[in-house]
Chain A
């Protein structure tokens, strides 16, 4: 199983390794180039020292997604992709380098420092002949720590579209696929170990030098093990040269459905000769922030999310009202155009096993509330917490669950399938509903707010490129809930790529005449 998995994902894993290695090299090199001079200055000027150390310390405490959000809108530094990730990783790598440089220099024997001054060495000469060589070991140890840390933190680079091994880890978590998770995690750990081993060659020199016969060979082998996969990846999958000229940049959130929807739009535009750049799988709220910053032009969103999470309004239940409100508020507040609904909704869906539904003749949620069953229910943390979630749902239908389980959303599906739970709240378009033979009960009291899928696009692009606006208009209502569910299942269950699934969907649309090729 592992062999075939590695065989199928060889190219992708090697590319992720390559991206990861470059991120770490770029970030630690930059951090050393900035951190060592900063540390030298801080060691020399006591007034500067406190300030510098405080700043690099505080930077460490900024959560990575927040740091990405802060960097995104900045000119030169920001945007989506490797640049922002490198800046963020550099900022995180500064602390050990600056701190060790300061410590290393301040720890130089006072008599040696005084002798150098009394002999008449200039400031630069003292730095070059005394302070830097004597602090070198401590400084290198700092760079070593920074490198190992950077290998770990670089996994979050995937959240801002910079790739790396983190993409496998995130995908594995989302799709509940242990192989992806383990492959990403193990490779990242391996890279950290190898990077650490490379530094053995630079380690503690004594005067006179103590013989260390194994240091160099070990470091060289480690370096080769890092570099060879990178070289192999260039041979297997040369990097795509990005087209010049301003392409339409399409973003997506970091889950399967969002990627499929973004891919559908990308392929429609490409078919009409529009240059497209894909910036998929943006973590957290970064897709929206990227759109505001102009780093992407369009991405798929849900009206319910836009209304409650982004605009911060109270949940509404009428889909047309939510859509109209979001459209108006987005135009006024953000300068964003909301395209027509794609045809399906990804609402909360209350799910039961098919036998349960058949045995008790359950079709609606009102049926379920009346049925003589002691429900064992389980819900994801998100559903328990949000304004349009658990509490209102129970009140609307008169459910009284005895100690509902709050657990990971993915796990509730499995627990329901194996009979540990009888009722869960999932997502209406989840591929697992079909795969696990579950039944979604109808929300007959219309409690759940609507989550209609729409494309959100920057007004400037909407107006300046009619072909994009026409393409999005043409996709009005073409995807029904069942179709979306099947596409999700094809990716999450059958392990097909979003690209293939989107292409199949478009081909089917042409055949049925829903879209003109």
Chain B
């Protein structure tokens, strides 16, 4: 097989490592024997069609779900040994429709975790302003707005700022740009890739969009029917010979790999 094989001697120290993970929800098998190690600073794209189990895999990492069999390691500890709340606060999370609290202003949404961690108000204000700048929103204009007054792209920027509030080393992104129009999406993808690299964050990024995976990722993993069927750097991915990869690539309109 052409899958780049990875051993896991260092997996305890890696930001994220899955070891022979099985997940069954109700009666349905969702993940079947998935092993995956994410190294520091990697941007790993979890690519797959809907129902492939990619979002469930993400939820295993911050313990919104627990594996039926196997182990998930985060920062040197099995997730079930983590206090779930502590674990989640060390991990940034961004989702498709941002999930901002509609009754709080942008500033309070971004600063909510700082508030819950009892950081002083002055520190909070400064941090929120810096975070908004970082995601390209002018605090003077946006801080006091409510989510209902934002465009889709602005909401996702706020979502990213909120995820960065406690400066987590690891970010989980669940199709964050999936619902945006193509122009805005392309811009946010670029900005996000640059931001993650500048900040040196480790990222696990779920998407069904091959182009997005190629644009952002340092590594692409294809999930199909609950299994990891390909794991490659973007340059190798299109040439990957697994039938699932070829099917995905062709469906996405990239044509045969030879043409590239």
Q: Tell me, in angstroms, the Cα distance from A117 to B64 when the chains sit together.
A: 8
Which residues of A are found within 8 Å of B100, using beta-carbon distances? 112, 115
Q: Tell me, in angstroms, the Cα distance from A116 to B148 when the chains sit together.
A: 18
The answer, yes or no, to whether A357 is at the interface (CB within 8 Å) is no
Which residues of B are found within 8 Å of A112, using beta-carbon distances? 99-102
**Residue of chain B at shortest CB distance from A121:** B116
Which residues of B are found within 8 Å of A130, using beta-carbon distances? 101
Q: Tell me the interface secondary structure of chain A in the complex.
A: helix
Could you tell me how many residues of chain A have their Cβ less than 8 Å away from some Cβ of chain B? 19
Which residues of A are found within 8 Å of B113, using beta-carbon distances? 119-120
Interface residues of A in 109-137 (CB under 8 A from B): 109, 111-112, 114-122, 125, 129-130, 133-134
Which residues of B are found within 8 Å of A121, using beta-carbon distances? 85, 116
Which of B4-12, B87-95, B204-212 interfaces with chain A?
Answer: B87-95
Which residues of B are found within 8 Å of A115, using beta-carbon distances? 93, 95, 98-101
**Residue of chain B at shortest CB distance from A207:** B146
The answer, yes or no, to whether B187 is at the interface (CB within 8 Å) is no
Beta-carbon contact of B149 and A208 below 8 Å: yes
Q: Count chain B CB atoms within 10 A of each CB in A112, A115, A121, A130 and give the residue with the most.
A: A115
Beta-carbon contact of A122 and B85 below 8 Å: yes
Beta-carbon contact of A114 and B146 below 8 Å: no
Beta-carbon contact of B64 and A129 below 8 Å: no
- Indicate with 1 or 0, residue by residue over B145-178, a CB within 8 angstroms of chain A CB atoms: 0111100000000000010000000001000000
Known: A112-B99, A129-B101. A119 touches B89 (CB 8 A): yes
Could you tell me how many residues of chain B have their Cβ less than 8 Å away from some Cβ of chain A? 28
Which residues of B are found within 8 Å of A116, using beta-carbon distances? 99, 101
Beta-carbon contact of B112 and A118 below 8 Å: no
Which residues of A are found within 8 Å of B99, using beta-carbon distances? 109, 111-112, 114-116, 118
- Indicate with 1 or 0, residue by residue over B72-105, a CB within 8 angstroms of chain A CB atoms: 0000000000001111110001011111111110
Q: Tell me, in angstroms, the Cα distance from A477 to B112 when the chains sit together.
A: 81
Q: Count chain B CB atoms within 10 A of each CB in A114, A119, A125 and give the residue with the most.
A: A119
**Residue of chain A at shortest CB distance from B62:** A118
Beta-carbon contact of B64 and A118 below 8 Å: yes
Which residues of A are found within 8 Å of B87, using beta-carbon distances? 120
**What is the distance, in angstroms, from B94's C-beta to the closest C-beta of chain A?**
9
Which residues of B are found within 8 Å of A111, using beta-carbon distances? 95-99
Which residues of B are found within 8 Å of A109, using beta-carbon distances? 99, 102
**What is the distance, in angstroms, from B97's C-beta to the closest C-beta of chain A?**
5
- Indicate with 1 or 0, residue by residue over A189-209, a CB within 8 angstroms of chain B CB atoms: 000000000000000000110
Known: A120-B88, A122-B85. A114 touches B103 (CB 8 A): no
Q: Tell me, in angstroms, the Cα distance from A114 to B64 when the chains sit together.
A: 9
Beta-carbon contact of A120 and B102 below 8 Å: no
Residues of B at the A interface (CB closer than 8 Å) are 62, 64, 84-89, 93, 95-104, 112-113, 116, 146-149, 162, 172
18 chain-A/chain-B pairs, Cβ below 8 angstroms: A112-B99, A115-B101, A116-B101, A117-B88, A118-B62, A118-B64, A118-B93, A119-B89, A119-B113, A120-B113, A122-B85, A125-B116, A129-B101, A133-B103, A134-B101, A134-B103, A207-B102, A208-B146
Residues of A at the B interface (CB closer than 8 Å) are 109, 111-112, 114-122, 125, 129-130, 133-134, 207-208
A-B contacts besides A112-B101, A117-B88, A119-B162, 4 pairs, CB < 8 Å = A109-B102, A112-B99, A133-B103, A207-B103
Top 8 A-B residue pairs of the complex, sorted by shortest distance between their CB atoms:
A115-B99, A120-B88, A120-B89, A118-B93, A207-B146, A111-B99, A207-B103, A111-B97
